[in-house]
Amino acid sequence: MQTFRFLVLALAALGLGGLLFGLWSRRASLPCPAWLAWMVELDNPLFRENRAAEIIRHLGLEAGMTVLDFGCGPGRLTIPLAKQVGTGGQVTAFDIQPAMLEKVRAKAQTQGLSNIRFVPGAAGEGKLERDAYDRALLVTVLGEIPDQEMVLKEIFYSLKPGGLLSITEVIADPHFQRREHVCQLAEAVGFVEKAFFGSAVSYTIHFQKPV
């Protein structure tokens, strides 16, 4: 009985912590802290376009491709992406929080994946190579970045000609970005919109770097 009460109290504390972070993060551009990683590891059952399998299904991935998971968090997308591109491909897990990258590393080791490159850093630090990636993903990350135009320029620079940037946003995220705003930013740095999936409150947009 005491164990059950402890579990209930622990879950309530975690839930309260998540709620307080959500409320506070609406006032500032803050990444989800590593201690709340469990919140972003789960697919939200209410929003189809935010599910990992759905995001990946739209990417048209092929074996051997290179993929950038920018703001990868605990690896909800990184791990299935690495499986999809196979041993001849590579996924770069990029995150500002080393603790998040350690979570991805532990998962990769458990599942025997050796095609993930781990890069700690923030936007604007010049850690992305030129013309290096076939695909890049920003999944509920853009709103956490203070200089959004800068990060889109950096990703544009890092994509191969013809490469795709996939941006996913969902209204449940405290940093939700409207479609109009995202399109305006992306087109300003040179991207061309190629596809839209979802609705105004839960969507994925693909932008292409011109050939």
134, two tokens: 């076939």
Q: pLDDT at position 206, please?
A: 98
Instruction: End-to-end CA distance of the chain: give it in Å, rounded.
Output: 64
HSE-up of residue 75 (Cα within 13 Å, Cβ side): 27
Q: pLDDT at position 26, please?
A: 43
Q: pLDDT at position 171, please?
A: 95
Q: pLDDT at position 39, please?
A: 56
Q: pLDDT at position 11, please?
A: 36
Q: pLDDT at position 40, please?
A: 64
Estimate to the nearest angstrom the gap between the alpha carbon of 201 and the chain centroid.
17
Q: pLDDT at position 18, please?
A: 40
Estimate to the nearest angstrom the gap between the alpha carbon of 133 and the chain centroid.
15
Measure the CA–CA gap between 81 and 155, rounded to whole angstroms. Answer: 18
21, two tokens: 């972070």
Long-range contacts of 25-29 (CB under 8 A, 24+ apart): 25/144, 25/174, 25/175, 26/174, 26/175, 29/143, 29/144, 29/145, 29/146, 29/175
The edge-to-edge listing of strands for the beta sheet with 116-120 is 116-120, 90-95, 66-70, 133-139, 159-170, 202-208, 192-198
Q: pLDDT at position 36, please?
A: 56
Q: pLDDT at position 124, please?
A: 85
Cβ–Cβ under 8 Å, residues 147 and 124: yes
Tens-binned pLDDT, residue by residue, of the chain (211 aa)? 555 554 434 333 333 344 344 444 444 455 666 555 555 667 777 888 899 999 999 999 999 999 999 999 999 999 999 999 999 999 999 999 999 999 999 999 999 999 999 999 998 888 999 999 999 999 999 999 999 999 999 999 999 999 999 999 999 999 999 999 999 999 999 999 999 999 999 999 999 999 9
